[in-house]
Amino acid sequence: MALVVLKRFNSAIEASLARSFLASEGVTSFLFDVENQWDTYPRVSIPVRLMVAEEDLDDAALLLRRAEANSPGEAR
């Protein structure tokens, strides 16, 4: 199974929420680079990558877009 990047997050918490949402919809996903989420000088961190199987990419992307569109989240 080849894994591809679905989305990058600057927050490990947001990435974990997205992963949990996908799991609730039956999509298996993985988080890469979570361990690199710490403050360093000059406040540099590597984004957390949400990875899915290549064959699940389109479905997972659609699920996340729909969830984000329905989220009360930040004002745009």
List, for residues 13-65, the tens digit of each pLDDT value.
Answer: 999 999 999 999 999 999 999 887 665 555 567 899 999 999 999 999 999 99
Instruction: Note the pLDDT of residue 46.
Output: 84
> The sheet that has 48-53: what strands, in order across it?
3-9, 48-53, 29-32
Q: How far apart are the first and last CA of the chain?
A: 37
- Under a CB-based contact definition with an 8 Å cutoff, are residues 48 and 15 in contact? yes
pTM of the predicted model as reported, rounded to 2 decimal places = 0.83
Instruction: Note the pLDDT of residue 37.
Output: 63
Instruction: Note the pLDDT of residue 63.
Output: 97
Alpha carbons 60 and 67: distance in angstroms, whole number: 11
pLDDT at 75 over 60: no
Q: What domains appear along the chain, each with residue ranges and CATH number? A: 3-69 (3.30.70.790)
Instruction: Note the pLDDT of residue 11.
Output: 87
- Under a CB-based contact definition with an 8 Å cutoff, are residues 20 and 31 in contact? no
